[in-house]
Structure 1
């Protein structure tokens, strides 16, 4: 056998040992190659505390004596070239701990393909996809000034294919076309990296580098990405650096020590999810995670990552009672190591994957989540606005007769709306674990439930911030989401559900067409209250601006009482206003009340701080969008 040291360049080995390699996936894992003219596979794994490591698989009858690996001088890397191995072969690593005890066979942390659960072997995958850069058009579609409306999807349960799981090609044929037709700008997939338990929805992942076998070979995912881009869609992936499950074949106790996880359970165990926490302070672990973020964006060409459970990473006392967490070096609760990881990840993507965005699911008031790292922030481009979601849904659950006492829940979000670059999320988290559906959260009889939901969607699309809606909510799915079944598409046979679907499509179209609704989405200059104080009638009115194009006025009536002769102040310079969208339109299943018949003429009557005003009819439980004629 040839000298194993020739298999890894010294430059790569030094960077790996320092935990600074930007692309560790190019070196570690399984890579088909030729050595001295002989075809085979190079296997490399990080296991610094193991006393012996072998690669076992189809090519050697899973016999650990057949392909022992050589320990390199630096970094605890073990390497072997196996001439008998080939693309498609199954394999694992056989490790002995420092005392020589045999450990359970381990899947490759850097495997780029894996078996479908319940089987757990890694698969020798095809060559790495070549690096890809986002096109200028795709990068521009991610900008703060761009309209960003995201359709969140659980790939296994959107529509089923011929088998239990749709293939990437089946998804590519239907999903991007539907999302584009609905007017969304981006598609976001819940985690698609390999995971052992369907019921985790992908959030308990063990194969961070492997597109899940549920949907077919990895090459199919490349075709799916291309199909999204062909439809003009950006593709975002859920990415989970916050935790991992403790399955014996995975990262837990990998070389007989807590290699990937914190050793102390006060740091290394998630009470909420019964999972382990990466040791964010270990250079090689940060390298593993940051490299993975770059892998998905650079090698697969995805447009961005939505980072799950960021709050759980930022705080050492997250979901822990007093005395069961370890303070940081300054005695505080912030996890400095996780903060450093997130900053490094965002900086690495900014350097090597320009135009790609990262979105944080962060549920606290941690400062500067979407501020640049150069300004002391975490470096994300956007942050989910969980406070807005919780407050506004609490308001919508109230019977309209009581809403006057909760008016502040709809206005409070504007106090901090421009402190971060926000995404307004109605995600899968709002329709699981007994929370019911969006339609089910609405009060009243069936007509009022649909009207409330339509009004709420209007409010959301008119509110500053990018948009995110989970699949099924665009047609008012009446049942809670079930990950084991496809969406109840038959509901679209009911005109009430079809009407909500038409509304979401039209809201997306209006949002994209009107610069005032998106250009200054993240800046205070793009918003002005016209009436935030009419709690008595549960009416809210505001103006969206972009600094140059005509403004858009949004008026919401959150009671079932029509308001005729409602006087509303409008800005000077615009004499005639018309309805651009009315959520009470019969087209959407509403009562068809409003101001469709004609134009609204501005009168020289001051109102709400404006020099002129219009008089209009406000439909019941509805939201109006008004534009200058």
Structure 2
């Protein structure tokens, strides 16, 4: 039995049974609407010496009954606490727990569940979204989990994403934290509905062949008085030591040296995966679990590291088809190596180095980019050390960091040209893909959680044409095995040109079995009507399958039509070569035809 199946509030006989772990509590009363918040007649019984308390309440028979634990501490102070294991909660600013029977919903996604795996040799193209600001109603209120189903499915399918990644959906008190300052680790946020409604959303996504990843805050929790901090008057979930208690986000850090804390978090993850059919967990701020305060100079966080290994080992064993994804900014080794081989056991790691280097390169005036080609080439030097995922996430479009298009040097028109080339680079570079909502629209305004994504921007042709190009890239990525099969095998990637310091042109090939795709990226304003470069193939030809400069993508139609012949003309150290047109700030993808 998992902790969440025992602790918390559960239907029992004709009522509900309440259990809580509070080893330092002298006395606990159950309070709520059902007893007018007076718990004198509803005292929990201490059922063993380890600190477990229990009470059966026959008069509570249904969902949505509010309650809290009224706890007498060892210092004879009364405090009111929400249930750490509650499955539902009041909508902020209220914060009481609510009863909810989690065992009624029946999924209809058996076909999806039987088919899913960790996507090592499948396309993985993730759409990261904040459920409260992707769409809003006319009165600026949220859509519920159920109401948004059809709209979300239609959009994901149209854009050819394979998965959605929801920013945290566990309960949290402050909207501005986006869910990253959690108060209820078993309580699905009531902002958008109840747990069964979220199950319905996930069920429908699965039935439409769309996977679901959940962003999870494993490191810390809110300091609000009703939550986990000083739960029974003692530092039950956080550290006893002041310097190990506080996080950089003004929250409390979990103390993973305590078995009860490890059990709590593992139980939360098990609940989400098992009861909601989550296909992947993205773990936030893993570097702060690896190192104290995320600072390598402060040394390795041994209890955090031990917890990561235990967590991933148990989850991988219990749920072998669920993806475990680390958002880790450190250079700690073997993050995606299995635990039985001495690693941390994640399946994927965000490649934040690729993201930072790419943006740093694109900020530079093309006149000087030749001195910084390593910003583009360096990622492939370390790529095979981990199983990387390329993220352009919400973190990059908030807090005055600018949107993706606004990070790029150049005029209005040139920004759009280079944005298409950036995304061609992303979708043809090895590694799984993630984009935050709105990236596909080339937005100039940073994300604001209080506003809906401005989809009406597509009324402007230049934004609409970029969106069409983005869709074409997503579709091509999904349908070309050379772009995802064996991508973590170095034999399937090769630079054909990566040291061109004068023209800012990069060329590389991706291969799988007999298939070969060549990507050409031009990060300079010059166009080339006759550009020759060396290739590996001795015979056959190539065909252009995507060009960012087509009319339909707001380009000048500087494209390659028909077959591109392979010629026995030496170039760039190769005996054979081909000659192509390359548009300014453009990108093209060629496919080999035997």
Alignment partner of 2:132: what SS? coil
Gap change, CA 1:500 and 1:168, over 3 Å in 2: same
* 8 Å CA contact 1:382, 1:422 repeated in 2: yes
Kindly provide the CA deviation profile for residues 284-330 of structure 1, in whole angstroms up to 9, marking residues without a partner as x.
1101101111111111101010000101111014259x8xx6xxxxx
Alignment partner of 2:400: what SS? coil
Cα distance in 2, alignment partners of residues 61 and 363 from structure 1: 49
Q: Bigger CA drift: 162-171 or 409-418?
A: 162-171
Instruction: Give the structure 2 partner of residue 587 of structure 1.
Output: 552
**Residues 270-285 of structure 1: pairs in structure 2 closer than 5 A:** 270=247, 272-285=248-261
Cα distance in 1, alignment partners of residues 402 and 102 from structure 2: 44
Alignment partner of 2:91: what SS? coil
**Residues 99-248 of structure 1: pairs in structure 2 closer than 5 A:** 99-103=75-79, 105-128=80-103, 135=111, 140=116, 142-161=118-137, 164-248=141-225
2:406 to 440, 451, 462: 440
* 8 Å CA contact 1:466, 1:521 repeated in 2: no
Deviation at 1:578, TM superposition (A): 0.8
Instruction: Give the structure 2 partner of residue 33 of structure 1.
Output: 12
Deviation at 1:588, TM superposition (A): 1.5
* Count of equivalent residues: 590
1:610 to 570, 574, 577: 574
Instruction: Give the structure 1 partner of residue 341 of structure 2.
Output: 375
Instruction: Give the structure 1 partner of residue 34 of structure 2.
Output: 59
1:71 to 38, 46, 55: 46
Cα distance in 1, alignment partners of residues 135 and 379 from structure 2: 35
Gap change, CA 1:311 and 1:121, over 3 Å in 2: same
Kindly provide the CA deviation profile for residues 455-479 of structure 1, in whole angstroms up to 9, marking residues without a partner as x.
1000111101000000001010110
Cα distance in 1, alignment partners of residues 104 and 482 from structure 2: 40
Instruction: Give the structure 2 partner of residue 598 of structure 1.
Output: 562
Alignment partner of 1:370: what SS? coil
Deviation at 1:138, TM superposition (A): 6.4
Gap change, CA 1:140 and 1:102, over 3 Å in 2: closer
Instruction: Give the structure 2 partner of residue 7 of structure 1.
Output: none
Kindly provide the CA deviation profile for residues 151-191 of structure 1, in whole angstroms up to 9, marking residues without a partner as x.
00000000013662110112212112211210111100000
Cα distance in 1, alignment partners of residues 209 and 463 from structure 2: 26
1:621 equivalent in alignment to 2:585: yes
Alignment partner of 2:346: what SS? coil
Alignment partner of 1:484: what SS? coil
Cα distance in 1, alignment partners of residues 485 and 394 from structure 2: 27
Alignment partner of 1:25: what SS? helix
Gap change, CA 1:137 and 1:27, over 3 Å in 2: closer
1:255 equivalent in alignment to 2:228: no
Which structure 2 segments of 5+ residues have no match?
Answer: none
Gap change, CA 1:453 and 1:274, over 3 Å in 2: same
Alignment partner of 1:545: what SS? strand
Cα distance in 2, alignment partners of residues 236 and 204 from structure 1: 18
Cα distance in 2, alignment partners of residues 497 and 382 from structure 1: 32
Cα distance in 1, alignment partners of residues 404 and 355 from structure 2: 12
**Residues 1-12 of structure 1: pairs in structure 2 closer than 5 A:** none
1:83 to 35, 40, 58: 58
Gap change, CA 1:298 and 1:571, over 3 Å in 2: same
Aligned-pair Cα RMSD in Å = 1.7
Alignment partner of 1:417: what SS? helix
1:556 equivalent in alignment to 2:551: no
Instruction: Give the structure 1 partner of residue 423 of structure 2.
Output: 457
Q: Bigger CA drift: 310-319 or 375-384?
A: 310-319
* 8 Å CA contact 1:134, 1:354 repeated in 2: no
Cα distance in 1, alignment partners of residues 57 and 117 from structure 2: 45
Gap change, CA 1:56 and 1:137, over 3 Å in 2: closer
* 8 Å CA contact 2:130, 2:166 repeated in 1: yes
Kindly provide the CA deviation profile for residues 544-583 of structure 1, in whole angstroms up to 9, marking residues without a partner as x.
012x131111110001110221112222255210111112
* 8 Å CA contact 1:114, 1:122 repeated in 2: yes
Cα distance in 2, alignment partners of residues 593 and 119 from structure 1: 60
Which structure 1 segments of 5+ residues have no match?
Answer: 1-11, 13-22, 326-332
Deviation at 1:422, TM superposition (A): 0.5
1:578 equivalent in alignment to 2:553: no
Alignment partner of 2:78: what SS? coil
Alignment partner of 1:535: what SS? coil
Alignment partner of 1:418: what SS? helix
Deviation at 1:232, TM superposition (A): 0.7
Alignment partner of 2:324: what SS? strand
* 8 Å CA contact 2:117, 2:322 repeated in 1: no
Deviation at 1:443, TM superposition (A): 1.6
Instruction: Give the structure 1 partner of residue 264 of structure 2.
Output: 288
Gap change, CA 1:510 and 1:47, over 3 Å in 2: same
Instruction: Give the structure 2 partner of residue 522 of structure 1.
Output: 488
Deviation at 1:483, TM superposition (A): 0.7
Alignment partner of 1:615: what SS? strand
* 8 Å CA contact 1:384, 1:423 repeated in 2: yes
Instruction: Give the structure 2 partner of residue 3 of structure 1.
Output: none
TM-score (norm 2): 0.96
Deviation at 1:607, TM superposition (A): 2.6
Cα distance in 1, alignment partners of residues 524 and 381 from structure 2: 24
* 8 Å CA contact 2:112, 2:207 repeated in 1: no
Cα distance in 1, alignment partners of residues 407 and 44 from structure 2: 58
Alignment partner of 2:591: what SS? strand
Q: Bigger CA drift: 340-349 or 226-235?
A: 340-349
Instruction: Give the structure 2 partner of residue 20 of structure 1.
Output: none
* 8 Å CA contact 1:139, 1:355 repeated in 2: no
